[in-house]
Amino acid sequence: MKYVIDHDLHIHSHLSSCSGDPNQTPAAILDYARQNGFKHICLTDHFWDETVPGASDWYKPQNYAHIKKSLPLPMADGVTFHFGCETEMDRFSTVGISRKVLDELDFVIVPTSHLHMTGFTIEADDTSVTHRAKYYMERNHSLLDMDLPFKKMGLAHFTSCLDTNCEGSRDDILNAITDVEYAEFFERLAQCGMGLELNTPLADVSSQSALRPYRIARSCGCKFYLGSDAHGPDGLNKAHARFQAIVDALGLTEDDKFSFV
């Protein structure tokens, strides 16, 4: 059976500092879910736990008290609105969430690809394509080395945000990672049960460089969830078309779907 587009597990509200859009409210997000026939949506505002040292100045205000301002989440028949977060992993492989909070949240996503945060997630002198590709895969393996409840966690936008302050393009970095290196990591990801996010612009659906990692991941048994990473109404409006395009491009079936419920 073809992969059913019935969820969006990566959505920001106006509480995320990168949004700030007053129209991006939980009520508006719920309405988006109802209009698209989604069964599950998840609020994943940016978050760094105040009990975990190392937050950047940007992350410090986005603590637990801040993201909990969205509670209680609105509900509707046929839609389950989950409360989660998008936390961060810094350049020392510290993940910005305590086990206590992790256990309280429904779903947690971690982006290892946020390599635009110079000095926080990456050293300033990391500019070559070879170095960037090597560092990126080291970060991915470091995440899986941790003792975390991976079955309720997702790896966010694997092929995004890689080329800031780099001598090459995003595709150059992705192409510098071999099939063997991808397979080694994705086999570990599948084994631990962490979901792999599909969050790609429509332009990436025709990019073999962007699709290659996901095809290898599928061959390794990884499970996929859909995430719009929407920060405002425009992102919500474009999400379903993006989801349909990537599902079709990869030929996904229901057997490929990640679920934490």
Reported in sequence order, the residue ranges of the chain that DSSP labels E, i.e. its strands, are 7-11, 40-43, 80-86, 107-110, 153-155, 195-198, 224-226
| Global confidence as pTM | 0.96
Q: Which residues pair with 42 in a beta bridge?
A: 82
Structure confidence at residue 120 (pLDDT): 96
How would residue 246 be classed by pLDDT, with cut points 50, 70 and 90? Answer: very high
Is residue 256 pLDDT above 80, yes or no?
yes
Q: Tell me the pLDDT tens digit for each residue of 101-160.
A: 999 999 999 999 999 999 999 998 778 999 999 999 999 999 999 999 999 999 999 999
Q: Tell me the pLDDT tens digit for each residue of 163-200.
A: 999 999 999 999 999 999 999 999 999 999 999 999 97
Question: Do 115 and 161 form a contact (C-beta atoms < 8 A)?
Answer: yes
